[in-house]
Amino acid sequence: MGVDIYLHSIWRPYCEANPVEQQMASLFEAYPEDPVAMWIELYRQDELSGGYFRNAYSSGDIMWTMGLSWSDDVGSRLDAEDRLSIDHARELVAMIEARPLTRQRIARHFLENMTDGVQKHPIAGPIVSRFAEATGHELAPLLPPEFESLSQFLVDRRERLLAILRKSIALSEPLEISL
């Protein structure tokens, strides 16, 4: 579950040069016992193309951290083909820049949402709760992430999101966004 953002003028050539079958084969070799690490590395490599951005609905959700919402602040701006216009990309850049990721903002988010072992993400939380109810399984409490690592991760995510939005504006190319 998450958000996928594509800048097709960069993404398509990258995919042609790096077929997913080849990527997966090398990642299976590199991470034979750790499928989660394999998928994380695949997304990392894809993001390095400059034409793709992924945001999981998890503690690393950059919009949630900034007090913004993918559905309200981004989804409401998409056209019928799930594209973000250049004007809306400019609006989104301004909204994000108005919410710098200060240590205080990250600490508040961390303390309010990640220290009691309960999944509080606005999308993942209800899904996890429904799953537990439907299956009758109690889920183990979440361990809070290590604060310094989380902080650096979130700062990096914000910069990567801003980078793809700015590329969209510079190229006058709408982004395709899958929520």
CA distance readout (Å), 118 to 109, 125, 160: 14, 8, 28
The answer to whether the beta carbons of residues 163 and 50 sit under 8 Å apart is: yes
Q: pLDDT confidence of 70, banded at 50, 70, 90?
A: very high
pTM (two decimals): 0.87
User: What is the structure's pLDDT at 39?
Assistant: 87
Of the candidates 36, 60, 53, which has an alpha carbon nearest to the alpha carbon of residue 121?
60
**Tens digit of each residue's pLDDT (9 = 90 or more) over 10-69:** 999 999 999 988 888 888 888 889 888 888 899 999 999 999 999 999 888 999 999 999
Which 3 state secondary structure label does DSSP give 159? Answer: helix
Q: List pLDDT tens digits, range 130-148.
A: 877 888 887 777 767 788 9
Nearest to 53, CA basis, from 67, 70, 72, 66: 70
**pLDDT of 115 higher than 90:** no
- DSSP codes of every residue in 33-90: T-HHHHHHHHHHHHHHTSSEEEEESSTT-HHHHTT--IIIIIGGGB-TTSEE-HHHHH
Q: Is 19 helix (H, G, I), strand (E, B) or coil?
A: coil
Find the range with the poorest average confidence among 27-31, 85-89, 157-161: 27-31
